């Protein structure tokens, strides 16, 4: 189960049943944090992207990402930071953040949504992606990944 808590206009925290912050929804983005390694975050990015594509195709009849049948996850860097890519397709932004408990680093991923997806679609997509990732998410005691993703906002 996933609780969606409003944090401001079109900004939401995603909290699991244990009360841990596991993600966020902001205009045109949704993200998930609490991954223990870059490898785990890359795998989750591909799993989450597949779930997101299915959700957007169901909602709009199309999706903004074309994923490979044989995914090849890798980390790339460009002017927008680090990204998890499937071949040449940027799937999700990769964030390296300090753990909310002060216990070192954790990783987060952030998906960009297409321009035609409003915040209601983003919330629905967050629930669908959470369903695909829930076993992999450890969450944090506070919104550290949300704050890092958006420069202290949240």
Q: Does 56 map to a domain? A: yes
What average pLDDT does this structure show over 55-83?
82
What average pLDDT does this structure show over 68-82?
80
Q: Does 154 map to a domain? A: no
Q: Does 60 map to a domain? A: yes
Q: Does 44 map to a domain? A: yes
**CA dihedral sign, ordered 49, 54, 57, 58:** negative
The most confident of 25-39, 68-82, 91-105, by mean pLDDT: 25-39
Q: What total of structural domains would you count in the chain? A: 1
**pLDDT recorded at residue 152:** 44
- The tens digit of pLDDT for each residue in 96-152 reads 987 655 567 889 999 999 988 888 899 999 999 999 987 777 665 454 555 555 554
- Is 50 exceeded by the pLDDT of residue 34? yes
- Structural domain boundaries, residue 128: 2-149
Average model confidence (pLDDT) for the chain? 83
């Amino acid at each position: 189960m996933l609780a969606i808590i409003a944090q401001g206009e079109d900004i939401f925290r995603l909290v699991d049943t244990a009360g841990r912050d596991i993600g966020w929804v902001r205009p045109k983005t949704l993200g998930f944090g609490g991954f223990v390694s870059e490898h785990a975050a890359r795998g989750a990015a591909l799993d989450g992207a597949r779930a997101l594509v299915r959700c957007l195709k169901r909602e709009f009849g199309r999706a903004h990402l074309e994923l490979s049948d044989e995914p090849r996850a890798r980390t790339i860097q460009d002017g927008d930071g680090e990204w998890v890519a499937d071949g040449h397709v940027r799937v999700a932004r990769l964030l390296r953040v300090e753990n909310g408990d002060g216990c070192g680093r954790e990783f987060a991923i952030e998906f960009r949504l297409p321009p035609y997806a409003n915040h209601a679609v983003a919330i629905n997509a967050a629930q669908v992606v959470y369903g695909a990732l829930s076993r992999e998410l450890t969450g944090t005691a506070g919104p550290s990944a949300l704050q890092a993703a958006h420069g202290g906002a949240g």
